[in-house]
Each structure stands twice: as structure tokens, then as C-alpha cells.
Amino acid sequence: MTDCALPANSRIVVSMLRAEKSFTFIDLFAGIGGLRRGFESIGGRCVFTSEWDRFSRETYEANFHDNREVEGDIRPFAETPELIPEHDVLLAGFPCQPFSIAGVSKKNALGRPHGFLCDTQGTLFFDTAQIIAHHRPTAFLLENVKNLESHDGGKTFATIMHVLTQELGYHVSTRVISSEHWVPQRRKRIFIVGFRDKSSFDINKLKLPEDEGPTLGSILEHDVDSKYTLTPHLWKYLQDYAAKHARAGNGFGCSVFGPDDVTRTLSARYYKDGSEILVSQGEGKIPRRLTPRECARLMGYPDSHKIPVSDTQAYRQFGNSVVVPAVKFIARNMKRHIYAAVDAERPEAAPIRKVTRPDRQAAEAHG
């Protein structure tokens, strides 16, 4: 009879390989890889990526050299989640537009449904939930706009929390975190953290940095091309437009910031006129837009981050991105909880759960 036990030296090798393996994660609605950077920084290894936008895929692939393609539409994978590799952690920045103030206003103006009733994006959270239900990862981190909490009178957020906690059985904590602790930008985003098994992790208990964050001057380039300076015509138009809306009480305004300031939120529409964040070039001088590299720094990306796309696409990508140091902060605090759960003896696989999609007619009845 052959002895099937591993020799001592083989057990050591297996142990070393397990240690080197660290933990695995998947990157859904990946954008240009902001969430990935956070979890790679604590030893995670990405095994699957999905991003619908082809320009974002181009940037992602220029910065992460995986021996696999970045997948596009996630919906076929939600229908057949077994095609996604097993993983310990799921990351998903599911699309902002259905829940953002700007996105809702636009859809209302067009008479179109928004939130979970939007056919192209609104059910993507539920596709994410189907993947969680099938794979039962140790943990997940979801990210979205702050307005997610108040959308549709709180019903959207309540539905999300019901799915994650009651239907999927995860232990979930949520928190809105603003980015000025790490970058010179005020950008509030909601982070939703879930652990499959009971964990002491609570994102609300994390102590944010107490030091003052950096100011705009720390990320500005020298010798900026004149093409980023507004034309006199556009500058006058923005000033007149701001004055008009100020008289009407609408609150629109173009904002000019100096080197000692912290900016407002960079949005995906920045490519249009740059009005939300203009950089002062001195008294009496016309201000300029941020350059794409400055936008990268404003979002906490390293200067090694490659920008292979046009300025227009780069502005869109950074405006839709997460602030990388904020994600790294959360990841560092999740680290010991992730490793403890991954290293622990895995329980028997839980039965695959079904995720209930909201009834469309009932949802429409809510208005």
C-alpha cells in the first residue's frame, strides 16, 4: 500500500506556496483600477476583471499586465458565475450614474427611469449580488456615490442592504468617507464592507487621519501647456453663466482654486469646460483647467500611472474613479480580518442562494 502522506519537505513547500498565494480578489466595474491598487497594496492578487468601457479597459491594460483579457459586460458572467474564478474578496464600484444627483436629474429630465429601473445599469448591483451569492467570497468592498443613501427616499439603499444582509447573510457595515485626508479634494463616497462570517471589522470604527491633508499646490505641474488655459470667450461665458444662476438661486458656479486650497469634487464632466475646478494663474489672469496628470494626482494615482488615452477620456476616467489612498486606508484596516478568514479552516460550502430582483411593477408603483 502506498503512503499518501506528503514528505516533510513537501509540506513546507505547500505551506510556502500558500503563504505566497496571499488572497485573491476580483475587480468588477473596474474603471482604471483604483480599487485594485488598494488591495494589491496589502498582498492581494487579482484573478478576474470586468469593465464595460473600452477606453477604461485600454488604460487598465496599460497599467496592469495580466495574462488574461479584461472582460467587458458583466451580465453574462452574472448569469453563469461559474465562469468567474474562485476568489476571496470581491471588489465592485458599481456604476454611479443611476444613483448620482446629476444622473438622476438627467434621467428625470428625459422622462426615463433611474435607479434599479434603468435597464442598462440599474440592475448591475443585482448582477453583482448574484456573483456574491454563487461564490460566497470571504469579504467584499462596494463603492458608490454618497447620494446612494438618500436615493428614492432611502428605498434604494434599503433594498441593497436587505439583499446583502438578509438574502446573502453577510455582516455589513457602511460609511461615507471624504477624501481630503489624503488628497486636496473634497470627494465623499460611500463604502460598503461585508464579511461572510462574523467579524469584528466595522468601517465606522476606523479612525481617520487627524493631520491636515495636502493642498492643491502639492499636485500642480510646472510649465503647463497653454492649451489648458481657458479662452477669453469661455472664461467670460462661465462668469456670466455663474452670475445668472446666482441671481436665480440655483447655485451654479465656476470655482477657481489657489495652491493653498482644497478643491471640490472632480466629476466625469470635467472634460466639457473644467468649471468645477479651475486653477488660478495669478490676479488678473485667466485660470486654467487641471491637466490629466494633475487629475491623476488629485485622485491619488502615482506618477507611474500610464495615461494612454485622450484628454477627454482621461478626464472622464479620473472623474469616475475612486481616490486610491482612501481605498488603501480601508484595505489596510481590512487586511488582518481578510487574512484571518482566508487562513482559517474553510467551512463546508454554503448552499448557493438566490437573489430576489425587485418586482418592476411594484417598484414603479412606488414612483
DSSP secondary structure letters along 30-59:
-TTSHHHHHHHTTTEEEEEEE---HHHHHH
Could you tell me which of 98, 96, 90, 88 has the C-alpha nearest to residue 49?
90
CA distance 279 to 216: 9
List, in sequence order, the alpha helices (H) in the chain. 8-21, 34-40, 54-63, 75-79, 101-109, 124-135, 155-161, 232-248, 270-273, 292-298, 311-319, 324-343, 360-365
Q: Which pLDDT score is estimated for 59?
A: 98
| Beta strands per DSSP E along 160-301 | 171-178, 188-195, 256-257, 278-279, 288-289
Q: Is 329 helix (H, G, I), strand (E, B) or coil?
A: helix
Q: Per-residue b/e over 225-239, b at no fewer than 16 CB within 10 Å?
A: eeebbbeeeebeebe
DSSP bridge pairs for 229: 288
More confident residue, 76 or 18: 76
- Number of Cβ within 10 Å of residue 190's Cβ equals 18
pLDDT, tens digit, for every residue of 169-190?
999 999 999 999 999 999 999 9
Residue 361 pLDDT greater than 50, yes or no: no
Q: What is the pLDDT of residue 2?
A: 37
The region of weakest confidence among 37-41, 214-218, 241-245, 251-255 is: 251-255
**If we measure between CA atoms, which residue out of 198, 205, 131 comes closest to residue 169?**
198
pLDDT band at 33 (very low <50, low <70, confident <90, very high): very high
Is residue 106 pLDDT above 70, yes or no? no
Cell numbers at 233, concatenated: 470667450
**How many other C-beta atoms can be found within 10 angstroms of the C-beta atom of residue 77?**
21
Q: How confident is the model at residue 346 (pLDDT cuts 50, 70, 90)?
A: low
* Percent of the chain predicted with pLDDT > 90: 67
Q: What is the average pLDDT score of the chain? A: 85
Torsions phi, psi for 103 (to 5 deg): -65, -45
Chain segment 234-288, per-residue pLDDT in tens: 999 999 888 887 777 776 668 999 999 999 999 999 999 999 999 999 999 999 9
Q: What is the pLDDT of residue 94?
A: 85
Separation between Cα atoms, residue 338 and residue 87, nearest integer Å:
12
96, 118, 254, 295: the active-site residue: 96
pLDDT of amino acid 16: 43
Q: What is the pLDDT of residue 358?
A: 59
Q: What is the pLDDT of residue 108?
A: 59
Q: Which of 125-129, 263-267, 315-319 has the lowest mean pLDDT?
A: 125-129
Tell me the three state secondary structure of residue 298: helix
Residue 96 falls in the annotated catalytic set: yes
What's 320's DSSP letter? T
Q: Which residues contact 321 (CB under 8 A, 6 or more apart)?
A: 31, 32, 34, 299, 301
Average pLDDT over residues 189-195: 98
Position 6 scores a pLDDT of 38
Q: Are 263 and 277 in contact (CB under 8 A)?
A: yes
Sign of CA dihedral 44, 50, 56, 60: positive
Q: Which domains does the chain have, with CATH numbers?
A: 8-208+321-365 (3.40.50.150), 216-317 (3.90.120.10)
pLDDT for residue 364: 45
Percent of the chain whose predicted confidence (pLDDT) is above 70: 79
| Of 3-17, 125-139, 285-299, 329-343, minimum mean pLDDT range | 3-17
Residue by residue, DSSP assigns 81-116 as GGGSPP-SEEEE---SGGGSHHHHHHHHHTT---GG
Beta bridge partners of 288: 229, 279
Residue 347's Cβ-count burial label (10 Å; 0-12, 13-18, 19+) is exposed
Q: How many residues does the chain have?
A: 367
Q: pTM of the predicted model, to two decimals?
A: 0.83
pLDDT at 119: 36
Which residues are paired to 173 by β-bridges? Answer: 193
Residue 99 confidence class, pLDDT cut points 50, 70, 90: very low
| Amino acid in position 209 | P
pLDDT of res. 21:
52
